[in-house]
Amino acid sequence: MGRDKARLRLGRRTLLGHVRATAQQLGVSVRIIRRDLIPRCGPLGGVYAALKTTRAPRVIFLSCDMPFISATTIRRVAAESATHKRAIFFQSGRAVGFPFGLCRDSLATVKAQIRRREFSLQALARVLFAKRLRWPRGSASERLNVNTPEEYERARRHWSSTRGTKL
């Protein structure tokens, strides 16, 4: 994108603001990882920082570039993570991604992945024997991920077409 995606605006809020507001609907503690403890290792840097600094037994990971994620989807990850006490990832096609849930004791595995320079969430899900959740039908807008100027424009059009209401 060439700039901080978290600060891009949709309506009155930033992308990060939308995700934070949705997560706060659940009444749980919400933390923002702004700096990776180990830089230049993709999403695993933020995952490592979160697991290293949390006291919670499980952490749900959300991405600031998915502004249309619903509280229902986040609740589903949290419930599955608590029930199965293992890694939980949403899957699109054959790939896993955000949102996902990890137990705090996954930290050693994340650290080992970083040491091996295996930075993908796919590899992490594989070594953690993660349970994979399928997205429900009709969830395409929730999965809208803003990584390019074109995707940002699509998100802006979607936001305008829903008149600024969350799905």
87-117 pLDDT per residue, tens? 999 998 889 999 999 999 999 999 999 999 9
Map out the domains of the chain with their CATH numbers: 5-161 (3.90.550.10)
Paired residues of 9 in beta bridges: 14
CA distance 82 to 51: 16
* Residue 1 pLDDT greater than 70, yes or no: no
CA 158 to chain centre: 20
**Which pLDDT score, from 0 to 100, does residue 167 have?**
45
User: In this predicted model, which residue has the larger pLDDT, 140 or 50?
Assistant: 50
**Which pLDDT score, from 0 to 100, does residue 163 have?**
65
**Which pLDDT score, from 0 to 100, does residue 29 have?**
86
**Which pLDDT score, from 0 to 100, does residue 138 have?**
86
DSSP structural state of residue 135: P
**Which pLDDT score, from 0 to 100, does residue 57 have?**
93
How does residue 166 score in pLDDT terms, banded at 50, 70 and 90? low
CA distance 33 to 127: 24
DSSP sequence for 71-122: HHHHHHHHHHHHHH-S-EEEEETTEEEEEEEEEGGGHHHHHHHHHTT---HH
Per-residue pLDDT reduced to its tens digit, 3-55: 888 999 998 999 999 999 999 999 888 999 988 888 899 999 999 999 999 99
Nearest Cα neighbor of 114 from 34, 32, 40 is 40
How does residue 162 score in pLDDT terms, banded at 50, 70 and 90? confident
Nearest Cα neighbor of 37 from 26, 27, 48 is 48
**Which pLDDT score, from 0 to 100, does residue 76 have?**
93
Structure-token pair, residue 90 = 């949403």
How does residue 66 score in pLDDT terms, banded at 50, 70 and 90? very high
Q: What is the mean pLDDT of residues 66-76?
A: 94
71-84 vs 15-24: helix axis angle to the nearest 10?
Answer: 60
For residue 92, the number of C-alpha atoms closer than 13 Å in the C-beta half-sphere is 13
